[in-house]
């Protein structure tokens, strides 16, 4: 039986085993998928142990996305851009391939939600690993403007510099502090980890255009503080549960060349979250 796993530290809370086992069941595919803890500073050792046991591929979550990036033999172009790897695959000759599916996971979920993308004004909050990972697929949708705002403004400016070549002629890509945010946006994506601590970045009240979507990459049983704030200002709101399931589906496709249906799995997770 083919063996897969998710690596993290901590990892006990991970929904990935449930998601991938549900995909396998749906597709009548024979595989095992487990959660594995690796030492914080030695992901390579954890991976080598798994390979010795017959492991063929893995997802990688916090704090290992950068260590995995450094470990692989062959990087996909999108993983190179993102500077992170969330999907590992062992090739037939023993080469290790690394890819990232977070970005495509977000854009698939945004498409499901019929979010304004092409020609839209998009604001992204945050400039960490998650935001770096989603910029390429978002820019590929050719928005009219993409603004990155971050607490540490220099990190937003650095991302603008790194991705300027992908912005193309029609897209105004810019970045800076929260205080510098100007105008209204059709889509506002919270890619900060502020929601984890129940915090909200300092945002102007008149942020949303009519019918705007506010999307928090974080998910929880209850709407996040960002979602509540956005909802009170008239925006449609969504959390990152769909992104989680879509990035998993893309990893599954890379390993198994089969595409699972994501809707039923997202619905099951949503029900489980609500039941606690």
Cα separation, 176 vs 170, whole angstroms = 20
65 given a catalytic annotation: yes
Q: Which is catalytic among the residues 15, 65, 92, 258?
A: 65
* Nearest position to ligand NDP, beta carbon: 128
Nearer to ligand NDP (CB atom), residue 138 or residue 218: 218
Of the residues 66, 71, 113, 128, which one makes contact with ligand NDP according to CB under 6 A? 128
Contact letters (x/-) for ligand NDP, 232-261, by CB under 6 A?
Answer: --------x--xx--x--------------
C-alpha count within 13 angstroms, C-beta hemisphere, residue 269: 26
Of the residues 102, 136, 238, 250, which one makes contact with ligand NDP according to CB under 6 A? 102
CB of 124 to ligand NDP, least distance (A): 10
Please name every residue paired with 210 in a beta bridge, in sequence order, or none if there are none.
none
- Among the listed ranges 10-18, 128-136, 254-262, 266-274, the one in contact with ligand NDP (CB under 6 A) is 128-136
Cα separation, 76 vs 226, whole angstroms = 33
Nearer to ligand NDP (CB atom), residue 117 or residue 135: 135
Query: Rule CB under 6 A: which of 31-70 touch ligand NDP?
Result: none
DSSP 95: P
CB atoms within 10 A of CB 142: 16
Cα separation, 54 vs 263, whole angstroms = 31
- Among the listed ranges 30-38, 88-96, 191-199, 206-214, the one in contact with ligand NDP (CB under 6 A) is 191-199
Please name every residue paired with 34 in a beta bridge, in sequence order, or none if there are none.
5
Contact letters (x/-) for ligand NDP, 138-177, by CB under 6 A?
Answer: ------------xxx--x----------------------
CB of 1 to ligand NDP, least distance (A): 27
Of the residues 5, 110, 115, 194, which one makes contact with ligand NDP according to CB under 6 A? 194
Nearer to ligand NDP (CB atom), residue 39 or residue 202: 202
CB of 271 to ligand NDP, least distance (A): 18
Diameter over CA atoms, the chain: 56
CA proximity to 61, closest of 38, 80, 89: 38
| Range list of H helices, the chain | 16-26, 43-52, 65-71, 77-82, 102-112, 129-140, 153-167, 225-232, 241-256, 263-275
Q: Is 176 exposed, middle or buried (0-12, 13-18, 19+ CB in 10 A)?
A: middle
Mapped onto helix, strand or coil, the DSSP state of residue 192 is coil
**Total residues in contact with ligand NDP, by rule CB under 6 A:** 28
Of the residues 129, 137, 143, 260, which one makes contact with ligand NDP according to CB under 6 A? 129
Give the helix/strand (H/E) hosting 3.
Answer: strand 2-8
CB of 194 to ligand NDP, least distance (A): 4
Angle (deg, nearest 10), helices 102-112 and 241-256: 120
Catalog residues that contact ligand NDP under the rule CB under 6 A: 102, 105, 126-131, 150-152, 155, 191-197, 199, 201, 217-219, 240, 243-244, 247
Query: Catalytic residues, which ones?
Result: 65
């Amino acid at each position: 039986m083919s063996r897969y796993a998710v690596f993290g530290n901590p990892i006990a809370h991970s929904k990935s085993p449930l998601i991938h086992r549900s995909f396998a069941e749906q597709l009548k595919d024979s595989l095992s998928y487990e959660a594995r803890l690796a030492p914080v500073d030695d992901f390579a050792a954890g991976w080598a142990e798994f390979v010795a046991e017959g492991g063929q591929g893995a997802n990688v979550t916090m704090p290992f996305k950068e260590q995995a990036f450094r470990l692989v033999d062959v990087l996909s172009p999108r993983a190179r851009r993102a500077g992170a790897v969330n999907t590992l695959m062992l090739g037939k000759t023993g080469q290790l391939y690394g890819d990232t599916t977070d970005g495509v996971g977000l854009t698939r979920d945004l498409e499901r939600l019929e979010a304004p993308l092409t020609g839209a004004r998009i604001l992204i909050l945050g400039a960490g690993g998650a935001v770096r990972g989603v910029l390429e697929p978002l820019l590929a949708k050719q928005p009219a403007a993409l603004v990155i705002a971050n607490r540490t403004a220099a990190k937003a400016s650095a991302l603008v510099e790194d991705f300027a070549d992908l912005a193309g002629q029609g897209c105004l890509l810019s970045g800076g502090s929260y205080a510098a945010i100007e105008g209204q946006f059709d889509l506002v994506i919270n890619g900060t980890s502020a929601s984890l601590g129940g915090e909200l970045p300092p945002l102007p009240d008149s942020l949303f255009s009519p019918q705007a979507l506010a999307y928090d990459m974080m998910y929880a049983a209850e709407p996040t503080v960002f979602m509540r704030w956005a909802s009170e200002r008239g925006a449609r709101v969504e959390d990152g549960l769909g992104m989680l399931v879509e990035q998993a589906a893309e990893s599954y496709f890379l390993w198994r060349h089969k595409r699972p249906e994501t809707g039923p799995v997202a619905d099951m997770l949503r029900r489980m979250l609500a039941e606690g």
